Amino acid sequence: MTLERTFSIVKPDAVQRNLIGAIYQRIENAGFRIVAAKMLHLTREQAEGFYAEHQGKPFFEKLVNFMTSGPIMVQVLEGENTIAGYRELMGKTNPEEAARGTLRADYAVNHTFNSVHGSDSPESAQREISYFFAADELCDRED
Ligand code: RTP
Ligand code: MG
């Protein structure tokens, strides 16, 4: 079995509504292991750097304002096929298009306040994990 890691955020709208535990439960029920986690309140600079690929898009300002509006939980998930599998668990960006039973269908408020983030490729997973975590903050969960 090849273990794959992805980077995940519980966004400010979900932290504010006390949904950290519910979302962690769904992540663990889906078979992913949390190997690192912490709570942060992003600065504008951190949010702009994290979402650099979206700079210049019409929703960029709104996204940065949202992501700096309150604390978030950042975590690294490990398991089989974790990048694609966690994207599937999240559902589509816009909750109106997200499949039933996905995190966004169940928890997102709208297209921007959509409760969770997950890396979209191995390259972004690596970049995003190292954006927030040092190598020694990731725990070995192979058991
Ligand atoms: P994420 O990066 O947060 O996992 O979400 P994603 O891949 O599904 O969506 P992406 O296209 O990367 O967009 C990043 C985040 O920007 C906000 N957004 N708002 N039209 C809009 O109002 C709009 N489009 C995107 C969402 O918070 C989205 O997750
Ligand atoms: Mg994305």
Is the C-alpha dihedral spanning 23, 24, 26, 27 positive or negative? positive
81 vs 139: CA distance, rounded Å: 19
Tokens 């969960």 sit at which residue? 141
In sequence order, the β-bridge partners of residue 77 are 6, 34
Residue 35 has pLDDT above 90, yes or no: yes
SS3 of residue 78 by DSSP: strand
- Mean pLDDT across the stretch 32-40? 98
pLDDT, tens digit, 9 for 90 and up, residues 4-27: 999 999 999 999 999 999 999 999
Q: Tell me yes or no: is domain 3-135 CATH 3.30.429.10.
A: no
Average pLDDT, the chain: 97
Catalytic residue, from 41, 54, 111, 117: name it: 117
DSSP assignment, residue 56? T
Q: How confident is the model at residue 44 (pLDDT cuts 50, 70, 90)?
A: very high
Map out the domains of the chain as residue ranges.
3-135
Please list, in sequence order, all residues whose beta carbon lies within 8 angstroms of the beta carbon of residue 110, skipping any fewer than 6 positions away.
94, 95
**Model-level pTM greater than 0.80?**
yes
In a 13 Å sphere around the CA of 32, the CA atoms on its Cβ side amount to 29
Residue 143 has what pLDDT? 63
29 is in an annotated binding site: no
Top mutation candidate among 73, 93, 129 for ligand 1, by most atoms within 8 Å of CB: 93
Q: What is the pLDDT of residue 2?
A: 84
127 is in an annotated binding site: no
> Which whole number is the average pLDDT over 76-104?
98
Average pLDDT value for residue range 72-97: 98
What pLDDT is attached to residue 141?
85
pLDDT digits (tens, 9 = 90+) for 101-142: 999 999 999 999 999 999 999 999 999 999 999 999 999 987
CA distances from 91 to 9, 31, 80, 135 (A): 14, 17, 18, 29
